[in-house]
Amino acid sequence: MTELPKIDFIYLNEQDMIKAGVTDMAGCVDTMEDMFKLLHSGDYRMAGANNDSHGAMIMFPENSPFETMPKPTADRRFMAMPAYLGGQYGTAGVKWYGSNIANRDKGLPRSILMFTLNDADTSAPLAYMSANLLSAYRTGAVPGVGARHLARQDSKVLAVQGPGVMGKTSLAAFMATCPEIDTVKLLGRSQGSIDRFVEWVKETYPQVTTIEIVEDLETLVRGSDIVTYCASGETGDVSKYPMVKREWLKPGAFLSMPASCDIDEGMKSKDVRKVCDNIGLYEAWFDELPKPAHVHVPVIGVKFLDMIEEGKMDRAELEDLGAICAGATPGRQNEDEIIILSVGGMPVEDVAWGTVIYRNAIAKGIGTKLNLWDKPVLR
């Protein structure tokens, strides 16, 4: 070949993403389950020495001599999250993740995300996408996959701590996989976010006949079939992470934890099943972080690794959601067992759902075609 071909790709803004199906939660749950099976088979790669890294994050110092350098405030991050996924996807991609909790004061979302999808053979770009909805729905869909295998299918009462985006998409996934849910208990920090969440639930899920606003975690958790903690918060002081206590839980409860969480001694018991969305992800975090690692990454799976390191938990007790989806490990085995799922979030999820949305967009003629080059100047 003496001349490289012209390369075009498509740009998908947020409305394009919606038209291409990014908010199809049932479809997203199915895609995430398929992705977990590929993880179990090993047909994927993420960053890092063990191919399971969450991504690479820019760290800002507490004190900088440069006036314009960002401060390490709550949820302040810039992160690149790359991955390759095989199977029917056969694509690679990277999510560029920017976040600042102070964005809310400017009328902006806390996180502003973009995703690039690439051909895994040539590395040519296929699409550049608005990724806030992509990320939100793939994050919410993972708890839905967990509920499909680990929650009681007659679950009726859902408890949500944190009435934000993650709370909404987690609820959407639970509704897609546990259709008997008719009661939502809600704990939030601001009346405005609570009111918006309640309005959204009433409009979107009329089958929810009861919405109960509660004032504390114990009231939220008691009597609930499914519990999820979805509120963002500062890291560094584990005593401030929202707690879940064994005595609060009814038999058969399923807990999905995609945000800050801590557990009491009762929850550390062997009779509480402890599942991670991908054990390798937590091992990558654990290798990278000072100890105890849960101080620095507040998701509960990191706490499990601390417990193993401290001799308070056997490594064999830690279960992997991919193995459960693939049938190599059993899902729920009886109606009374309590199961807690740690949801850390992985770039392979963005690649999986992003590939589906890209192919939908191509099939429907959605998006704006952009040109990379007609002929590269340097080669």
pLDDT at 59: 86
**Residue boundaries of the structural domains of the chain:** 7-134+348-373, 143-346
Choose which CATH entry (3.30.230.10, 3.40.50.720, 3.40.50.10090, 1.10.1370.40) describes domain 143-346: 3.40.50.720
What confidence tens digit (pLDDT) does each residue in 341-364 have? 999 999 999 999 999 999 999 999
pLDDT at 4: 62
Q: Are 43 and 87 in contact (CB under 8 A)?
A: yes
Q: Is 18 helix (H, G, I), strand (E, B) or coil?
A: helix
The reply to whether domains 7-134+348-373 and 143-346 share a CATH topology is no
CATH class of 7-134+348-373: alpha beta
d(CA 344, CA 297) in angstroms, rounded, equals 9
pLDDT at 2: 46
Q: Are 369 and 5 in contact (CB under 8 A)?
A: no
d(CA 356, CA 364) in angstroms, rounded, equals 12
pLDDT at 3: 56
The pTM for the full model equals 0.95
d(CA 110, CA 100) in angstroms, rounded, equals 5
CA distances, 52 to each of 180, 181, 336 (Å): 35, 34, 33
- Closest alpha carbon to 126 in 135, 115, 136, 139: 115
pLDDT at 274: 98
What confidence tens digit (pLDDT) does each residue in 303-337 have? 999 999 999 999 999 999 999 999 999 999 999 99
183's CB contacts (< 8 A; 6+ apart) are 156, 157, 158, 208, 209, 210, 211, 212
> In the chain, which stretches have pLDDT less than 50?
1-2
d(CA 9, CA 19) in angstroms, rounded, equals 18
